[in-house]
Amino acid sequence: CSQVGALVINDLSAAMLQQAAGKCVHGVICSPVERLPFAAGQFERIMVVDALHHFSAQRSGLSELLRVLSPGGRLVIEEPDIERFSVKLIALAEKLALMQSHFLPPEQIRAQLEQLGYPAQIERDGWIAWVIVDK
């Protein structure tokens, strides 16, 4: 916990937030990512873990994350790499479960971030991709 500092978790799922409570968490927030209740530049580090494909408005969600990221901060987006066959099966299962997921290839995530004015890099490890922005 001491290496992280004040950890804030945001999710629309109350069940997910309950799991996070009491785990070195400074605060839990239930808010759509497109309308975060934080001041501009409030966070040094932001991680989006296996969630971008669940954002209802991905581009505005990315824009909002960049808004609350401080200058010199880092945004890391970890997503299953839809270019991998196993992830295509997961995406199909989520569609069949009516989850309204929308997986993007890492290059398309990077392109959206770059359209917002922030160069991004992609790193891959197996079926996971990280899209990283330094502000």
- pLDDT tens for each residue of the chain, 135 residues long: 555 667 788 888 888 777 777 666 778 888 999 999 999 999 999 999 999 999 999 999 999 999 999 999 999 999 999 998 888 898 888 888 888 889 999 999 999 999 999 999 999 999 999 999 999
SS3 107: helix
Per the CB < 8 A criterion, the answer to whether 73 and 135 are in contact is yes
Q: Assess contact for 69 and 91: CB atoms under 8 A.
A: no
Residues constituting the chain:
135
Q: What is the pTM of this model?
A: 0.88
Residue 5: predicted pLDDT: 67
Contact (Cβ atoms closer than 8 angstroms) between residue 106 and residue 129: yes
Q: What is the pLDDT of residue 8?
A: 85
